Structure 1
Amino acid sequence: MRCENNHSFDVARSGYVNLLLSSARRSKQPGDNSAMITSRRRFLEGGYYQPISDEINRQFSAAAIESSCIMDAGCGEGYYLARLSDQLPVSQNTRCYGMDISKPAVVAAARRYRQINWLVGSCARPPFLNDSLDAILCIFSRACFEPFAQALKPSGRLIMVTPASSHLKELRGLIYENVIDHRRDKFIDAAAEYFDLIEEKRVTHTITLPDSRAILDLLAMTPFFWRITLERKSHVASLDALTVQLDVDVRAFVPCN
């Protein structure tokens, strides 16, 4: 596989393509590491975040998108895109692409979900022609609104999942002295130059994590993992159970005219 600049990219044996040039990396291994990906997969397969996936799939179905090409930007180990792919009619012949900057995440996704195309790359430079995508998913990931708007067809949709004010407030209370509610409108403000908001659904759900492994798995898949002190991490690891609030916004945007 070659790009317009004559860079060559090989398809790995497990089925993914690494499009991340060494010059574009900020570290030797950007993104989540293998241990974090293992924690993420174990947690998601426990069904704790299925209400989020269900709402993404509902919005996608309700929009009646004439889907032929979908990208999950920041796909992780592939949970959300795989569940969406499973509900799409075979007759649509949809091409699904999952992209993440983490090579371990993409390797894990490619090994599990072979019906999907997996790419290691940066969402700031998605490898798609302008006006070529029918939908982009951006789930707890960095939103690169300008390149997303360029890659989407005029009729395309961006479906975003972002934390609402009380998301994981109980876990955050174990990590920080002062817990500040997430600002729900900041993502709408950031998108406004390139996208119009057309649908918004707040998903709330109470989750009880039954043991320390599930609690630590959740911690490992959040930004809090990088900020928690060793003392507080030891305290979190000592808990036998934890009840937390899932509180997220699932929003659909269309490119501005």
Structure 2
Amino acid sequence: MVNKTLFQCPNCAKPLKRGHKQYFCSNGHCFDIAKQGYVNLLLPGHTGTGKPGDTKEMIRSRREFLDKGYYQEFSDTLNNMVLETLKTEQSDSISIFDAGCGEGYYISRLKQKFFDNNINNLDMYGIDVSKSAIQYAGGRDKDIHFAVASSYHVPILANSIDCILCIFAPRDEKEFKRILKPSGKLIVAAPGPKHLYSLRKFLYDSPDVIGQKGTVEEGFNLLLHKLVSYSITINDKEDIFNLFNMTPYSRHTDDDAENKLKTIGEFTTEVDINIRVYQKA
């Protein structure tokens, strides 16, 4: 059985169809489907030197931390905003694309939110430059089209997406504008000024306050802005270390601070996240 998809060939930009074991285009380019259900559409020229994306250890820590529900309040708020933004869509299917989807936590919860509201006409896609992340994502939800790919070379057809999610991820606004439908929405979630401040204060003598992040200007108009702010208390040493290990701070912290963090049995810190909804101009 062959199905049309919204993926495009990374070699020639022709539409990709999905067969039983491969994605393929009319020019004969083929891409194997992994056992977890994802496809690798990342070409060698789409990344710099070295292994792209987060490490396997960071991804594992993020998956375990998120699955404990510490960011569920943020995820629920995001899902409500997406549902409110898209529930009036009248098309045969609602196409949603998660750019930098990581291990698939947010988009899989979003899919369930739509299902809980009896909206089943979904066509959902997620990409990440990390193969390890997409392996987790594909194993989490087989109904979402996942691919290893870069957000700077998005393998999605032009003018095909109703809503793009960009959650703590890098973005190429020209690419986003290319793939969105004329009425398409871009929803960006980025750290607020106090996000994980207590953790940063523990690790560094004088942590900086995070500046304005997640703002998009050229080609988009801001429709809505919401700050999600609450505190979390972590009572498990492994969860505390997973939080640390899933952040960029794990790459820039000395051994003394890291070892000290491993001895703590309880830790409270802030969740402070900006969610902005943009309309394609």
Pairing of 1:107-186 with structure 2 (within 5 A): 107-184=135-212, 186=213
The answer as to whether partners of 1:73 and 1:123 remain within 8 angstroms in 2 is: yes
Pair 1:5–1:160, CA change in 2 (3 A)? farther
Instruction: State the Cα deviation string for residues 47-91 of structure 1 (Å, max 9, x = none).
Output: 100111111111112122525211111101101000101122465
- Residue 23 of structure 1: how far off its partner (Å): 2.7
In structure 2, the CA distance between the partners of 1:96 and 1:208, relative to structure 1 (3 Å rule), is same
Q: Kindly provide the CA deviation profile for residues 142-200 of structure 1, in whole angstroms up to 9, marking residues without a partner as x.
A: 1211110111111111111111110000111122222111112x432xx1112111001
For 1:246, which of 233, 248, 271 is the aligned residue? 271
The separation in 1 between residues aligned to 2:148 and 2:62, in whole angstroms, is 18
> After the TM superposition, which residues 78-97 of structure 1 pair with which residues of structure 2 at under 5 Å, given as runs?
78-89=104-115, 92-97=120-125
- The CA deviation at 1:35 is 2.1
Hey, what's the Cα distance between the residues in 2 that align with 1:231 and 1:3?
53
Question: Using the alignment, how far apart are the partners of 1:158 and 1:193 within structure 2?
Answer: 13
Q: In structure 1, how many angstroms separate the alpha carbons of the residues matched to 2:49 and 2:140?
A: 26
Larger relative contact order, structure 1 or 2 (CA cutoff 8 Å, min sep 6): 1
| TM-score, length-scaled by structure 1 | 0.93
Task: Give the Å deviation of 1:28.
Answer: 4.4
Specify the alignment match of 1:199 in structure 2: 224
Aligned twin of 2:59 = 37
Q: For 1:126, give the aligned amino acid.
A: V
Letter in 1 for 2:257: R
Identify the structure with the greater helix proportion.
Answer: 1
Q: Which residue of 2 aligns with 1:75?
A: 101
SS at match of 1:31: coil
Instruction: Tell whether the 8 Å contact from 1:11 to 1:17 is kept in structure 2 after alignment.
Output: yes
Q: Distance in 2 between matches of 1:2 and 1:96?
A: 19
Cα 1:166/1:4, change in 2 over 3 Å: farther
Within 2, Cα distance between the matches of 1:2 and 1:174? 50
> Residues of 2 paired with 1:210 and 1:71: CA distance?
35
CA 1:68–1:110 in 2, change beyond 3 Å: closer, same or farther?
A: same
**Once the 2 structures are TM-superposed, how far is the Cα of residue 114 of structure 1 from its aligned partner?**
1.1
RMSD of equivalent CA atoms: 1.7
C-alpha deviations, 1:182-227, integer Å up to 9, x for none?
112x432xx1112111001110111001122111111121111111
One-letter code aligned to 2:66: L
Partner residue in 2 for 1:213: 238
Tell me, yes or no, if the aligned pair for 2:189 and 2:214 is still in contact at 8 Å.
no
User: How far does residue 247 in structure 1 lie from its aligned partner after superposition?
Assistant: 0.6
Question: Structure 2 length normalisation: TM-score?
Answer: 0.85
Amino acid in the other structure paired with 2:261:
V
Q: Any stretches of 5+ residues in structure 2 without a counterpart?
A: 1-22
Identity within the alignment, %? 38
Q: Structure 1: state its 5+ residue gaps.
A: none
d(CA) in 1 for partners of 2:71 and 2:182? 31
Partner of 1:233: 258
> 2: CA distance between counterparts of 1:175 and 1:4?
53
Where do 4+ consecutive residues of structure 1 move more than 6 Å?
A: none
Matched positions, count = 253
